[in-house]
Structure 1
Amino acid sequence: MFTEEILTRCEAIMIEVCDNFGAELVEFNGEPDHVHLLVRYPPKVALSSLVGSLKGVSARLLRKQYPAHISKDLWGDHFWSPSYFAASCGGAPLSIIKEYIENQKRPG
């Protein structure tokens, strides 16, 4: 469901959500059916709350802005899958993780 335009808008939304949590969206990219984020967030923030807000706000705003395009590709009635994958990268060089995210096959 993600096009270049929708991914660009999704990134802007997620930057704003992260800012509201005192977090930083370090890197963002996506493929036609999912996104990758590298987020630096303070220890006081519950990851589940941050992810819930990222998914909830982006779903609401993207569905409102691109209703015709998005409605045909929903998970049933949901924009995002109910699950997510999160991993800590405290020991890995951020440059390697950023490179991985940058090299996703973003739709053209």
Structure 2
Amino acid sequence: MSPTSEYRHKSHNVSVLLYHIVYSTKYRRDVLSPKVVRILLRTCKKIEERYEIVFIEIGSDKDHIHFLVQSVPTYSVTKIVRTIKSITAREIFKHAPGVKRALWGGEFWSDGYFVSTVGRHGSEHVIGNYVRNQGKPDYEKLYENNQLDLFNGGY
């Protein structure tokens, strides 16, 4: 698996889209045995080969998994989440059927998830400073989130 993010060059864009995604196992059951983790990692490698999803890092906290993934603009966060959840669950149930029994025959992952964007080039504060310092001395701030009256004043 790729150790660091890279610029993804497509026909009409270049991107570095990174996401931190967390899934909990159903009922927060501790079913992430070494065998299940091996299946999960092998499956993630297959997802990389078939989809434009790159796993930068994967970590476990007993009853949930953290993924740091990179993808392309044509993949929504929802598509990335569904792809990883559905394929990993299917493969885990296929190759470790005892897990399905431990989860009472249901789903492997809980219904919800956590996702956050990750900045390769800095935090919100760093990027804000970068934007502010472009084109000096001609830079003019056009909008900042706390200036809501900009939109109430009309044209």
TM-score (norm 1): 0.74
Q: 2:67 maps to what in 1?
A: 37
Work out the number of aligned pairs and report it.
91
Residue deviations 1:16-75 (CA, integer Å, cap 9, x gap): 22332212100011122110000011111111111101111111110111111342135x
**Hey, what's the Cα distance between the residues in 2 that align with 1:11 and 1:39?**
13
Over alpha carbons, which structure has the higher Rg? 2
Are 2:46 and 1:16 equivalent residues in the alignment? yes
**Hey, what's the Cα distance between the residues in 1 that align with 2:48 and 2:114?**
17
Q: 1:65 maps to what in 2?
A: 95
**Hey, what's the Cα distance between the residues in 2 that align with 1:5 and 1:44?**
33
User: Percent identity at matched positions?
Assistant: 23
**Does the aligned pair in 2 maintain the 1:63–1:71 contact within 8 Å?**
no
**Does the aligned pair in 2 maintain the 1:26–1:38 contact within 8 Å?**
yes
Greater share of strand: 2
Greater share of helix: 1
* Structure 1: gaps of 5 or more residues: 93-108
* Structure 2: gaps of 5 or more residues: 1-30, 124-155
Are 2:81 and 1:51 equivalent residues in the alignment? yes
**Does the aligned pair in 2 maintain the 1:7–1:29 contact within 8 Å?**
no
TM-score (norm 2): 0.53
Q: 1:78 maps to what in 2?
A: 107
How much does 1:6 deviate? 1.1
**Hey, what's the Cα distance between the residues in 2 that align with 1:51 and 1:17?**
12
**Does the aligned pair in 2 maintain the 1:18–1:50 contact within 8 Å?**
no
Higher RCO (Cα < 8 Å, 6 or more apart): 1
Runs of 4+ in 1 over 3 A off after TM superposition: none
Are 2:36 and 1:6 equivalent residues in the alignment? yes
